[in-house]
Amino acid sequence: MFELLALFALLFVGGLCLVAFIAVKAVFHLIFCPIKILFLPFLLIGFVIKLAVLVAVAAIVIAVLIPLAILALLFAAPFILAAALT
């Protein structure tokens, strides 16, 4: 009979620890949620800067590749015409 009482006491303590853990976890979520919301503008600024750098690099790459493509077509045009005529 004592073993059964000890088992129920152990289950009660385990359940109490589980409830305490869930309560502490909820309190930490309530505490740190406003802090996460405060960091959102900084994340947005970082994202906008990253996007601006990406667009600038893409524009530079396109600005370099277009004249190279024109030069390649100018040098390749006689060979393309000769291949088309034969």
**For 66-75, how does the pLDDT look when each residue is reduced to its tens digit (9 = 90+)?**
999 999 999 9
Structure tokens at 4: 């059964």
Distance of CA 39 to the CA centre of its chain: 15
Number of other CB atoms surrounding residue 67 within 10 Å: 9
**What pTM value is reported for the model?**
0.52
Tell me: pLDDT of 86 over 80: no
Structure tokens at 52: 């601006």
- For residues 28 and 31, what is the distance between their CA atoms, to the nearest angstrom? 5
Tell me: pLDDT of 1 over 80: yes
pLDDT of 39 reads 85
